[in-house]
Amino acid sequence: MTAAAIASQEILKPHLTVAGGHSLGGTIRVSGAKNSALVLMTASLLTADTLELCNVPDLTDIGGMSEILASLGVKVERQADRVRLNAAVLSSSEPPYELVNSLRASFFSIGPLLGRLGHAKVPLPGGCRIGARPVVEHIRGLKALGAVIQVEHGIIHANVPGPNKRLKGASIILDCPSVGATETILMAAVLAEGTSTIENVAQEPEVQDLANLLNRMGARVSGAGSPVITVEGVESLHGCLDYPVIPDRIEAGTFLMAAAITRSRLRVEPVVPEHLNAVLQKLRDCGCHLDIDATGITITPKEITAVDITTQPFPGFPTDLQAPFMALMTTARGTSVITERIYENRMQHVGELQRMGASIRVDGNTAIVEGVFRLSAAPVKGSDLRASAAMVLAGLAADGTSKVSGLQHLDRGYDDIEAKLNGVGAVISRQAS
């Protein structure tokens, strides 16, 4: 196939047409956090009782996790924003490769499976476009809790030796504060015999949400949100009904940046402001006024000037908002230096932003962004979830109508983004081909 034919096929794929230049206004609603909901769903594996979550976003990743849990025997029912999960009978401890590979968070099921059953066979998830994404820390932690782990043909075989097949509490110091490793080890440790201390853990709000849910299920977890988590193991956990997933801080940050890039006053709710402190500081620094109250944030952008960011683990600036913030900086006055410290390959949106007239130079994992007066609409493709969101934002601010493809990424993490943005004045439509 010629390059031109490939390009025309790309344009024919499902895409959004984003009409640039419309101001936003009013209130935009934030859904429940994808990264919380995914891991809270896997916590259902820890009990024979029913777990009911509410405020669960409607995303393809949530559908994928439901499928993976169903493959293990979990009964999953969804009604509006509620998901009920019952793992009374686990028919398998081996999620299939195709499913685990398509949804990395499903690998975290190895922790609760080991805790509950004493054995699990889970395929290694592999890397993804943004980086290698190893799981060594997850495995090291499970070994410290007494699991015997072998890797054969890309599949992790994990077993707990001994007559009662119960993990044993241990002291664990993570080499890096991995979110997934913290969650995996935490879910394994809650049913272990004795006390575990896990140091250098991830402090992300999603880890705190998981610890809160586990405590509601009868676990004894303290310290979540700080660098050290302590877990006193219990023999069993019970169910929990009506547990609300926290608001999605990354979706909220994306909408605040949508307001800033279109220079529009917008209210974003619900938001837990402490989950976004580093982002809010950068938005203030670049010229946005923020009114923060108990339920949300009203942003009023003034002239946007360039500021630098470096992505870091929480409470630092989140890597998942690096691409949307870069889109904003392409329209700022001055030069911004954006450094990606979490993933080795998360600059793929640069080329697409350049196609829209952005002026960006990349040196390794640093992008130097010189603000331009106006972006110009173009057909662009999001290479990953957050890069796709950055393309939508750039499209909102550009002259003309952009075509944004790569929706299979966008739909993984944004619940009906075009309807939400159209509700506050954007003009976006979805084309099937």
Catalytic positions, written as ranges: 128
CB contact at 8 A, 100 and 125 = yes
- Site size toward ligand UD1 (CB under 6 A) is 23
Nearer to ligand UD1, 278 or 304 (CB): 278
Q: Binding pattern to ligand UD1, positions 300-319, x when CB under 6 A?
A: ------------------xx
CB contact at 8 A, 406 and 383 = yes
> Residue 197 has which token pair?
């201390």
Contact between 178 and ligand UD1 (CB under 6 A)? yes
Contact between 136 and ligand UD1 (CB under 6 A)? yes
d(C-alpha 226, C-alpha 209), whole Å: 13
Find the part of the chain contacting ligand UD1 (CB under 6 A) among 109-117, 133-141, 146-154, 252-260.
Answer: 133-141
SS (H, E, C) 17-65: EEECCCCCCCEEECCECHHHHHHHHHHHHHCCCEEEEECCCCCHHHHHH
Contact between 128 and ligand UD1 (CB under 6 A)? no
Question: Looking only at residues 138 through 177 of this chain, which bind ligand UD1 when binding is defined by CB under 6 A?
Answer: 138, 176
CB contact at 8 A, 114 and 167 = yes
SS (H, E, C) 357-379: CCEEEEECCEEEEECCCCCECCE
> Residue 428 has which token pair?
């976006």
**Smallest distance, Å, CB 248 to ligand UD1?**
11
The SS3 assignment for 38 reads: helix
**Smallest distance, Å, CB 178 to ligand UD1?**
3
**Smallest distance, Å, CB 51 to ligand UD1?**
18
Nearer to ligand UD1, 37 or 288 (CB): 37
Contact between 35 and ligand UD1 (CB under 6 A)? yes
**Smallest distance, Å, CB 142 to ligand UD1?**
11
Question: Looking only at residues 399 through 418 of this chain, which bind ligand UD1 when binding is defined by CB under 6 A?
Answer: none
Contact between 198 and ligand UD1 (CB under 6 A)? no
Find the part of the chain contacting ligand UD1 (CB under 6 A) among 71-79, 136-144, 162-170, 269-277.
Answer: 136-144
Nearer to ligand UD1, 184 or 264 (CB): 184
**Smallest distance, Å, CB 135 to ligand UD1?**
5
CB contact at 8 A, 15 and 403 = yes
Residues 6 or more apart whose CB falls under 8 angstroms from that of 44 comprise 51, 69, 74, 85, 86, 87
Closest residue to ligand UD1 using C-beta atoms: 180
Which residues, in sequence order, are bridge partners of residue 336?
A: 369
DSSP summary character for residue 30: -
Which residues, in sequence order, are bridge partners of residue 16?
A: 404, 430
- Give the residue ranges of DSSP H helices in 110-267: 110-117, 136-144, 179-189, 205-216, 249-261
CB contact at 8 A, 184 and 141 = yes
Question: Looking only at residues 36 through 75 of this chain, which bind ligand UD1 when binding is defined by CB under 6 A?
Answer: 38
Of residues 24, 30, 68, 135, which one binds ligand UD1 by CB under 6 A?
135
**Smallest distance, Å, CB 122 to ligand UD1?**
14
CB contact at 8 A, 164 and 115 = no
Nearer to ligand UD1, 38 or 260 (CB): 38
Nearer to ligand UD1, 179 or 221 (CB): 179
Nearer to ligand UD1, 207 or 404 (CB): 207
95 cis-preceded (ω within 30 degrees of 0): no
Find the part of the chain contacting ligand UD1 (CB under 6 A) among 2-10, 76-84, 126-134, 420-428.
Answer: 126-134
Contact between 179 and ligand UD1 (CB under 6 A)? yes
**Checking DSSP bridges between strand 119-123 and strand 148-152, what pairing results, if any?**
unpaired
Binding site for ligand UD1 (CB under 6 A): 35, 38, 104-105, 131, 133-138, 176, 178-181, 202, 206, 318-320, 342-343
